Amino acid sequence: MRSLLLFTILAFTLLLSCNKKKGADKVDLVPEIVEPKPSLEILWQTDSLLTTCEAVLYDKTSQTIFVANVNNSPWEKDNNGFISTLNTKGEILDLKWAEGLSGPKGMGILNGKLYVSDIDEVVEIDIATKTMTARHKVDGSPQLNDITVSNNAVYVSGSNSDGIYQVENGVKLIAKDSLGRLNGLLYQEEGIFYAASRSHNFGFYNPKDNSFKTLTTEIGHGDGIVRLENGDFIVSSWQGEIFYINQKDWSKTQLLDTRDKKINAADIDYIPSTQTLLVPTFFHNRVMAYKLKFE
């Protein structure tokens, strides 16, 4: 009887030891968090009547897309540039909604006026009447390019001058640095983000201390800038690339590359309600629309 009792105790001890060992080897698995990757899917493209289209601008109020057409030479005062309008399906509403420009590029809307950069002046067009109400001249050869607006001001980049100008009782220079041919501008509450075409940099201008800071490099010939609802950015490179830039660490992902097809990607815009990226293709003479997807 005593031998049987000892055997039972020994067996129970061994069983308990094995269970503890198994428990020690058990590991709680934490699922890996994988962030969705952005991509672009073609939606539509316009007819090829938008000669040397350099910039697009979506007007939420009228649900109209404005297109700035250089019409051949981007820096010559030839008076043949024009503004077109499209609907959100890519159909041309008015090919020559406004004429009498030379090299129209960046555009912005403020208080019912469409502001257009035009080589050495900012042209003001009343949207309701389609009439030019003012021309704000800039001395020298600034090569005015992109336009961005705040709630009460209009800003324009000078590619040749590497300066940021403000339209207010004329046009005045508010900031300047050696940026490597400043192009794209985007006003945000914290300051103005910029893209440079020669240095291939994406950066930030802080108006509080008048400083410029490079955030990421190698974005190609930086042109247009848009910001998404999640705070990230999409930046175009004029030669035909589109980059997604993560605001957390300023890392970038190439979304599109049409350089081998000789399709440019100039000054872009974005329609948040439909996640549609609008891309003017310059020498390809079309606007192309892409759906931004996260998978």
Q: What is the tens place of the pLDDT at every residue in 206-224?
A: 999 999 999 999 999 999 9
pLDDT band at 30 (very low <50, low <70, confident <90, very high): low
Using the 8-state DSSP alphabet, how is residue 119 labeled? B
Residues of the chain with pLDDT > 70, as a percent, come to 89
pLDDT of residue 238: 98
pLDDT of residue 25: 53
CATH domain 34-294 topology? Neuraminidase (2.120.10)
Q: Look at residue 17 and tell me whether its pLDDT is greater than 70.
A: no
Q: Look at residue 125 and tell me whether its pLDDT is greater than 80.
A: yes
> Average per-residue pLDDT in the chain?
92
Residues of the chain with pLDDT > 90, as a percent, come to 87
> How does pLDDT run across 93-106, given as a tens digit for each residue?
999 999 999 999 99
- 228 CB neighbour count, 10 Å cutoff: 17
In degrees to the nearest 10, what's the CA dihedral of 292, 74, 215, 232?
-20
Extents of the domains making up the chain:
34-294
Q: What is the number of H-type helices and E-type strands within the chain? A: 1, 24
pLDDT of residue 22: 45
pLDDT band at 169 (very low <50, low <70, confident <90, very high): confident
Q: Write the single-letter amino acid at 238.
A: W
- Judged on CB neighbours under 10 Å (0-12, 13-18, 19+), 165 is buried
Q: Look at residue 2 and tell me whether its pLDDT is greater than 60.
A: no
Distance CA 241, CA 230 (A): 22
Q: Look at residue 205 and tell me whether its pLDDT is greater than 80.
A: yes
Q: Look at residue 32 and tell me whether its pLDDT is greater than 50.
A: yes
Q: Measured at the alpha carbon of residue 125, what is the angle toward residues 120 and 129, in degrees to the nearest 5?
A: 160
pLDDT of residue 250: 98
pLDDT of residue 24: 46
Contact 66, 108 (CB under 8 A): no
Q: Look at residue 292 and tell me whether its pLDDT is greater than 90.
A: yes
pLDDT of residue 28: 58
pLDDT of residue 8: 45
Q: pTM of this prediction?
A: 0.89
